Amino acid sequence: MAGCVSRVELAVSCRSLLDRDLGSRSDPLCVLLQDVGGGRWAELDRTERIKNCQNPEFSKKLIVDYYFEKVQKLKFGVYDIDNKSVDLNDDDYLGGIECTLGQVVSSSVYTRPLELKQGKPAGKGTITISAEEIKDTRVVYLEIEARNLDKKDFLGKSDPFLEFYKQSDAGTWQLVYRSEVVIKNNLNPCWRKFSIPLQTFCGGDFNKPIKVQCADHDSDGSHDLIGTFETNLTQLQKAGDGSLVEFECIHPEKKQKKKSYKNSGIIRIKSCKIETEYSFLDYIMGGCQINFTVGVDFTGSNGDPKSPDSLHYISPDGINEYLIAIWSVGSVVQDYDTDKLFPAFGFGAQVPPSWQVSHEFALNFNPSNPYCQGIQGIVDAYRQILPQIRLYGPTNFSPIINHVARFAAHSAQGTASQYFVLLIITDGEITDLDQTRQAIVNASKLPMSIIIVGVGEADFQAMEFLDGDNGVLKSLTGEPVARDIVQFVPFRQFKNAPREALSQMVLAEVPKQLVSYYKWQGWPPVKPPEVKMM
């Protein structure tokens, strides 16, 4: 399961607050609560109190952990504080709002009218929230070579590798990087370019001491020290554009024993660059929209929808596994799409009037406008179409993958503005495996991710194969995927779990997949974040 994507700080301001104090203005404070389930709300944070102010701009930011794969329901409450107690029950309520964190982070500025209770406005009061990610995503890129290293091996030359340590506040040395490339039999090695997050490398402190150790690799793990030196990032940064920064590699024991000892070789920094690596939230806050498309399997192996043992049978309480999957995934993704218009398709059924088998028909029977209004629109279209089609076959995935890929290819024009998520819900019997493999390989070069939810009790071996977790998925001709874009989950694992568990599992990879695509292309966010020096 993916951990917390990041921490976000929310800046809050209000306008035209109600006046509850006689003879003076209100003394507002804003409190942030999060829905913890079962109708309960837990306080996450609160701002400072500002005296006599109807248009407060709070300086204390509200901190919250952000998860893309969850719907995080928040409540902002503004109170007039007239006493010193922490309890808000004895303070006047000036209004509040309920929203999701997804709505806040996907809007650059989120303004809403305050309400005293649902449908009852708090005068003309409004609240404005803007989000910013708390992070330092700078990365140090280093290119290093060495000259005339000491020979350590009896029969051959040394097999040198590098280790970098940063000094902790307590003065101890903490390993931050070990070069993976062991260069065999070479006293003048040139290591591959490598990168270390700035936070890991030196905690963002350019003058923090860094110790570099060069050692001779032995397969039994008893590596021999060649030499060491100390530096810091400010010194390393002088390297680049043809100018090298050189350090003498010193072996402390040899230096003590021999008066004539100079060094055990020279380590040369060829280049040291600091670059920003953009995060998922940088792209979302920078204006990237996530477009959500659904593909529903209407093949005969699902069973007759009128029969209670069919996967398409809608139970008396109005649900089935297909509907739960649409709701679960859609309720998270919808916050990241401003128009809330979602294309929804079916495949593998005979459709009227000609009763030809179709592998990509619009659920609303409108091929020129297959968009449904919101997740509820997809659900309504699904319920209406079910009695009007005949479940048939075969089960072909490639047409619907290629359909979304055409839109993704059209939008991939050098800006990080549109990303596509295709949800395929299926009973798992796939007919066009080779064409689907090719479609996925092609789609892996585009701004899109594919989520497959398997319903029913079938053997989902083909789906596991497409997920590529046991190895890299390749097309029939042997071409590998450019990046991993498929996530498969069998619904049966979540039958007795809370409804949100499914979305958390299938969407946990999407932030990584989105960032990996734009990084691969070298595209920054449409509106990059302002760089704040730490």
Tokens 């920094």 locate to 269
User: Do residues 429 and 458 lie in contact, with contact meaning Cβ atoms separated by under 8 Å?
Assistant: yes
Structure tokens at 501: 């568990």
Mean pLDDT of the chain: 91
| pLDDT (mean) for 501-510 | 90
Omega of the bond prior to 56 within 30 degrees of 0, cis? no
Running DSSP on this structure, what letter comes out for residue 301? G
Kindly report the number of other CB atoms within 10 A of residue 427's CB atom.
25
Question: 204: closest CA among 141, 133, 143, 138?
Answer: 138
In tens, the pLDDT along 169-192 reads 888 898 899 886 556 767 888 999
Q: Model's pTM, two decimal places?
A: 0.77
H or E element, residue 386: none
Find how far residue 461's CA is from the centre of its chain.
27
- Could you tell me the pLDDT band of residue 3, with boundaries at 50, 70 and 90? very low
Q: Report the distance separating Cα 92 and Cα 18, nearest Å.
A: 10
Task: Please name the amino acid found at residue 427.
Answer: D
Residue 365 predicted with pLDDT over 90 = yes
- Supply the pLDDT for residue 533: 46
H or E element, residue 434: helix 433-443
Kindly report the number of other CB atoms within 10 A of residue 462's CB atom.
21
In tens, the pLDDT along 203-239 reads 889 999 999 999 988 776 678 899 999 999 999 999 9
- What are the b/e assignments for 371-402, b being 16+ CB within 10 Å? bbeebebbbebbeebbeebebbbebbbbbbbb
Q: Report the distance separating Cα 224 and Cα 158, nearest Å.
A: 9
Structure tokens at 186: 């070479």
In tens, the pLDDT along 110-163 reads 999 999 999 999 999 999 999 988 877 789 999 999 999 888 765 567 788 999
In tens, the pLDDT along 403-432 reads 999 999 999 999 999 999 999 999 988 999
In tens, the pLDDT along 241-289 reads 889 999 999 999 999 998 889 999 999 999 999 988 899 999 999 999 9
Domains in the chain, please, with CATH? 6-134 (2.60.40.150), 138-276 (2.60.40.150), 281-521 (3.40.50.410)
